Amino acid sequence: MLRGTTLAILLIVAGLLGLMGSVYVVNEGQTAIVLNLGKVVRSDVEPGLHFKWPLVEEVTKFDRRILTLDDAPERYLTSEKKDVSVDFFVKWRIDDVSTFYRAASGGNEEAAKLRLTPIIKDALRQEINRLSLQDVVSGARVDLTARLLEATKDGAATLGIEIVDIRIKRINLPEDGNILSSVFERMRAERTRVANQLRAEGTEGADEIRSEAERERQVILAEAERDAQRVRGAGDARAAELAAAAYGQDAEFYAFYRSLEAYRNSMADGQSVLVLDPDSEFLKYFGNDKR
C-alpha cells in the first residue's frame, strides 16, 4: 500500500514537472523562437502564455523594443581629404527574429551590435567622403540621415534588424588651427552677406513705405486744400451775397457801417497815427459839417 502511494506521488510530481516544463510566458515587449533539438520550429511568438514539448523543445526570448547602438566617435575624410570626427548613435530593433538568431550567434545583442556597427560606419564614411568640409559642418543633417537609412537598410536586413533612425550627435573639426579659422571665416562671411542682404531689403522696404506715405500725405493735403478752397469760395460768395443784399436795402447805412468797421480795424491797438487830408473820403463820417 505504501509503495503504491509513493509511486502515485512520484507520478504526480513528474506530471507537474512535465507541465511546468511545457509552459512558458512571453512578456510584453518581447518575442521568442522555439527550437526543437537546435532547429527553429516556431518564430515571432507573440506575448502571452504558450506551450512546448518538454525536454526536446527550448525557448529563446528577445527584446522587441527599440534598442540603441552608441559607439565611439570615428574619424572620416571629406571630399577635400580633411579629417572630421563624427559621433553618432543608431536606433534599431529586431525585425526578423529567425534571421537575427542565426546571424547574431544565437541572438546575442552584443554580437549583433558588433556586426551592425561596420555597416553603419561604412555607409557614413561613403556619405562624408562625398561632402565638403563646409557641407559637413553646416549641411542639412536631415538629408544625410535619410541617405544613411537607405544605404544601411539592406545590410541590416541580413541581420534581421530594422534601422529606425541614425542621428549625428556631434561633428568635431580637426585640431588644425588653419582649417578651423578658415571654416569660421567662411561662416562669418556667409552670415555677414546674409545680414547685409537683410539690411538692404529692410532699407528698400522702409524707403518704399516712406515714399508711399509721403505720396498719400501730399494727396491728402491737396484734397484738403481743394475742399478748403471750395468752402472758402462758398463762404465768400455767401458773404458777397449778404453784403449785396444789405447794400440794396440801405446803401447809405451800409456805407456808414463799412466806414465804422474800417475805423475800428485801423485804430484797434489804440496807438495808430493816421495822417490824412481833412477832405479825405475816409473821414467822411467824422462829423464834417461841410458834407
Give the pLDDT confidence of 239-268 residue by residue, as tens digits: 878 777 777 776 777 777 777 777 777 766
- Give CA–CA dist 84/49, Å, rounded: 51
For 141, other C-beta atoms within 10 Å of its C-beta total 14
Which amino acid is present at 278?
A: P
What confidence tens digit (pLDDT) does each residue in 43-53 have? Answer: 777 787 777 76
Which amino acid is present at 67?
A: L
Least confidently predicted of 137-151, 158-172, 182-196, 265-279:
265-279
Q: Which three cell numbers stand for residue 156?
A: 541590416
Contact yes or no for 226/234 (Cβ under 8 A): no
Which amino acid is present at 213?
A: A
Ordered by start, the domain boundaries in the chain are 17-62, 67-174, 251-291
Tell the residue number behind the cell numbers 514537472, with chain if given. 17
- Higher-pLDDT residue of 242, 199: 199
What confidence tens digit (pLDDT) does each residue in 43-92 have? Answer: 777 787 777 767 677 888 888 888 898 888 888 888 887 788 888 899 99
Contact yes or no for 100/128 (Cβ under 8 A): no
Contact yes or no for 148/127 (Cβ under 8 A): yes
User: Which pLDDT score is estimated for 290?
Assistant: 46
Contact yes or no for 101/35 (Cβ under 8 A): no
| Domain 67-174 in this protein, CATH class | alpha beta
